[in-house]
Amino acid sequence: MGVYLSTPKTDKTSEDGENEKLRYGVSSMQGWRTSMEDAHAALLDLDESTSFFGVYDGHGGQAVSKFCAKFLHQQVLKHEAYSAGDIAIAAQKSFLRMDEMMCGQRGWRELSILGNKMDQFSGMIEGLIWSPRSGNLKDQEDNWSSEEGPHSNYEGPACGSTACVAIIRNNKLVVANAGDSRCVISRKGQAYNLSEDHKPDLQVEKERIYKAGGYIHFGRVNGSLNLARAIGDMEMKRNKTLPPEDQVLTANPDVNTVELCEDDDFLVLACDGIWDCMSNQELVDFVHEQLKTESKLSTVCEKVFDRCLAPVSGGEGCDNMTMILVQFKKPESGPSTSEPLDSSDSQEPSGSN
């Protein structure tokens, strides 16, 4: 589904970076779509010992994906669980926090700015940006619900976004995912899926959807969304008797924690525009082949897009594409500390939460 251009936009936005432990490259391409709704975050130094990477695939507009790219890692960093060393809980709570922050006056204002005032939100007047009386927003950083204005009762955006993030600290990798963007790791050339695509036909998703009063029609939640989890889409989260985790649609992520080892080659985070065209192993094999002659990781991402792009509009290869490639720098010495991962595409790694 979707509206397409007569010719694809193949110009790519790319960047690279590295520190003493990691190298990364990221790229994004609009492709055949009429607009670019993906966003991403790549921070080698979330703090002195932690790196953060996230891919956000928007639907119905770009505002929510850009909101997540701007704020989700900030919420992880400032959560009390993160300070206590529990990255998994900090990530899970930060996904749910996105929905809370997008409601009310400040949420409306941030979304309207990030959406370039072109996205349609319930209760939003296109072209109007409300300026709060208090100019020092840093003093109100966590008090999103306290800002007053004409949209103080704003219930959140009708558009939404997937979110798939990887947080790396020393030899620990935490992957949090809501939606069908995906995280895959290459271990000695073998692809291991570290996230699960949250489609409505999964049994656990079906049970929650029906129990919350929703339905599935032609593979879509309430006949509209082909995802069972996402940030935003607040019209599917308005059952006041249920917690956020139990709504028809939920932002609650699956969180996996994996011990990294010397056998780990690289990590890929990508939106479904990539996975629609290549299996986990096909992508890992392709990346390995490219790395034989190409050292710039963002260029490898760009070559993946060229490989996936459909020759004509319609069907697979026509979606927005975003990919982050994270390569692990090999330590000089030290034994592997990780247990083997199950090679199944839908496996859940040992030690996951």
Please give the average per-residue pLDDT across 273-293, as a whole number. 98
pLDDT at residue 349, rounded to an integer: 47
Please give the average per-residue pLDDT across 211-232, as a whole number. 96
> Do 229 and 205 contact (CB within 8 A), yes or no?
yes
Please give the average per-residue pLDDT across 261-288, as a whole number. 97
Residue 342 has pLDDT above 70, yes or no: no
Percentage of the chain exceeding pLDDT 70: 86
CA dihedral over 132, 135, 136, 138, signed as positive or negative: positive
Provide φ and ψ at 149, rounded to 5°. 170, -175
> Do 102 and 147 contact (CB within 8 A), yes or no?
no
Strands in the chain per DSSP E = 4-18, 22-33, 38-47, 50-59, 160-161, 163-169, 172-178, 182-187, 190-193, 216-217, 220-221, 231-232, 254-259, 264-270, 321-328
Confidence of residue 351 (pLDDT cuts 50, 70, 90): very low
Confidence of residue 58 (pLDDT cuts 50, 70, 90): very high
Residue range 71-95, pLDDT digits in tens:
999 999 999 999 999 999 999 999 9
pLDDT at residue 314, rounded to an integer: 86
Residue 232 has pLDDT above 80, yes or no: yes
CATH-assigned architecture of domain 4-126+149-327: 4-Layer Sandwich (3.60)
User: Tokens 């649609």 map to which residue?
Assistant: 249
Q: Which helix (H) or strand (E) holds 85?
A: none
Confidence of residue 146 (pLDDT cuts 50, 70, 90): confident
pLDDT at residue 3, rounded to an integer: 83
Any idea how long the chain is?
353
Report the distance separating Cα 288 and Cα 280, nearest Å. Answer: 12
Confidence of residue 339 (pLDDT cuts 50, 70, 90): low
pLDDT at residue 178, rounded to an integer: 98
Residue 126 has pLDDT above 50, yes or no: no
pLDDT at residue 327, rounded to an integer: 98
pLDDT at residue 120, rounded to an integer: 46
Report the distance separating Cα 302 and Cα 310, nearest Å. Answer: 14
Q: What is the mean pLDDT of the chain?
A: 89
pLDDT at residue 132, rounded to an integer: 47
Give the pTM.
0.90
Q: Which of 41, 35, 29, 24 is nearest to 58 (CA)?
A: 35
Confidence of residue 331 (pLDDT cuts 50, 70, 90): low
Q: Which helix (H) or strand (E) holds 246?
A: none
The larger pLDDT score, comparing residue 193 to residue 127, is at 193
Report the distance separating Cα 182 and Cα 165, nearest Å. Answer: 9
> Do 227 and 180 contact (CB within 8 A), yes or no?
yes
Report the distance separating Cα 271 and Cα 3, nearest Å. Answer: 18
pLDDT at residue 121, rounded to an integer: 47
Report the distance separating Cα 19 and Cα 247, nearest Å. Answer: 40
Report the distance separating Cα 279 and Cα 184, nearest Å. Answer: 10
